[in-house]
Amino acid sequence: MNRLSGRTVRVMLSLGLALCAASLWVGCGALPSSGRHDSHTHLQRAKVHLAAGDYRRAVEACQQEVAAHPSAETYTYLTYVYQALDAYTDSLARTDQWVAMEHLYLNLAAGRTEDLVDPPDVLARIAKEMIQSAVQKQSDVTAALAMRLDSAAVARVWAQQTAWRKMRPDGWWFGVPSGWPW
């Protein structure tokens, strides 16, 4: 019996996982098209990802919405997701949930099949600082972009999210205000 090298096994596993992921994407990942303009499918996906705590995909979906439909509102929604990630990171640190912090870091850093056979490792407290610093900077940038486009729209959307945060102080970061078109 021939023995396969470790590299060959990793390549085969990666290919197999990629094929499985591709078949799952084709089978159940695509959103149905109703013939209308799908202006909010990215936001709908972002809402589901937030509820699951999948912040990487929530950010990506909001970034896709900004790319497809740039507006003060879409930049503000992206800012909200960055701030939700920041608040979740802070809540994990306050409650000493460092294993969950590592999981969050892996969620943000990983996403390719090769990560399954060569996972990145990081200390959780360092991950917290890195995540919060980057997210706070991105939040400031997207908020400024939104304000340049339409400060009145930003004020309206921000009032909604402020009320949402007050109603759910211990978990607002897993969802969006009910008045938002997500």
Residue-range domain boundaries for the chain: 39-174
Contact partners, residue 173, CB within 8 Å, separation at least 6: 50, 83, 84, 85, 87, 88, 91
Q: What pTM value is reported for the model?
A: 0.68
Q: How much is the pLDDT for 38?
A: 57
pLDDT tops 50 at residue 7: no
Among 21-30, 84-93, 170-179, the range scoring the smallest mean pLDDT is: 21-30
Please, are residues 62 and 79 in contact by the beta-carbon 8 Å criterion?
no
